[in-house]
Amino acid sequence: MKKSSEYRVVFHLEQPDPQRLRIAVNNTANLIADKGTVVQAAFVANFQAPQLFLAGESGTEWAETAAQWVNRGILAIYICNNSLKNLHLAPESLLPFCEIVPAGISRIIELQNEGFAYIKP
């Protein structure tokens, strides 16, 4: 059950722009530093953004921190399966802590219905 003081945010990523991903990671880190364990963050990647979450790619220096947040239950990373198909990417090519959802846009709406604030970096 959601605590009244819990901060919930969904970051919507559409472009394979590492700078936008860094903004989402930095904003999440700042929120955690400010609010501690009362943070729930989600990244939803659709359109071309799933390319940002490929295992072994350069520019994934943020991945170790993100994996720690996922393990602590602070962050969830959702990847749109429709986008994976359109980009011809195999699910196993993603970082292991990503979760594939049928449609990214549906997951964003579900999260907003659960009280997550929508941010598009």
Domains (range + CATH), the chain:
7-119 (3.40.1260.10)
- The confidence score (pLDDT) of residue 56 equals 82
Contact (Cβ atoms closer than 8 angstroms) between residue 4 and residue 115: no
Label residue 8 exposed, middle or buried (CB < 10 Å: 0-12, 13-18, 19+): middle
Residue 1: predicted pLDDT: 33
Side-chain half-sphere of 104: how many Cα atoms within 13 Å?
25
- Using the structure block, give the residue that is written with the tokens 């602070």: 74
Q: Which two tokens stand for residue 9?
A: 């945010």
Give the predicted TM-score (pTM) of the model: 0.92
According to DSSP, the residues that pair with 8 across neighbouring strands are 40
Contact call for residues 74 and 39 (beta carbons, < 8 A): yes
Amino acid at site 8: R
Over its length of 121 residues, how does the chain's per-residue pLDDT go in tens digits? 344 568 999 999 999 999 999 999 999 999 999 987 789 999 999 999 999 999 986 567 789 999 999 999 999 999 999 999 999 999 999 999 999 999 999 999 999 999 999 999 9
Q: Give dist(CA 108, CA 27) in Å, integer.
A: 18
